[in-house]
Amino acid sequence: MPPLVARSWACSLACVALLGCLVSAPCSAMVLGHYAGHVGHLGHPLSKRSFFDIQCKGVYDKSIFARLDRICEDCYNLFREPQLHSLCRSDCYSTVYFKGCLEALLLKEEEAKFDLMIESLSGGLQ
């Protein structure tokens, strides 16, 4: 995806997310970090197999994996684009889609923290 298109997409995501967060509770729960007992997309528990399916080659940490997956799931729930959840998770959360979801969910200021989480899961292969 060309950088200009990705930037435009991320900006659109951020604008829609801002409006969505003003009227919905799930975003506020997301921003406050309520991730305990997380079950993955479509109600399936996050497994070690799904960790490897998205090309993660680092340390499997279920809590970090669940936290990053929740960002992608909330982004999917916000936009309801069928492929968004898998695009956000692909390459062990290291795509522009994940970054766009951070912006859309108003989590950009925590990007450095998420980068460290991704580095741990990916084995430093971002």
Spell out the domain ranges in the chain.
3-30+45-122
What pLDDT, on a 0 to 100 scale, did the predictor assign at position 81? 93
* CATH 3.40.50.20 for domain 3-30+45-122: no
d(CA 33, CA 118): 17
pLDDT exceeds 60 at position 103: yes
For the cut 80, the answer to whether the pLDDT of residue 36 exceeds it is no
- Report the predicted TM-score, pTM, of the whole model to 2 decimal places: 0.62
Banded pLDDT at 104 (limits 50, 70, 90): very high
Nearest to 88 by CA among 118, 43, 119: 118
Q: How confident is residue 9, by pLDDT bands cut at 50, 70 and 90?
A: low
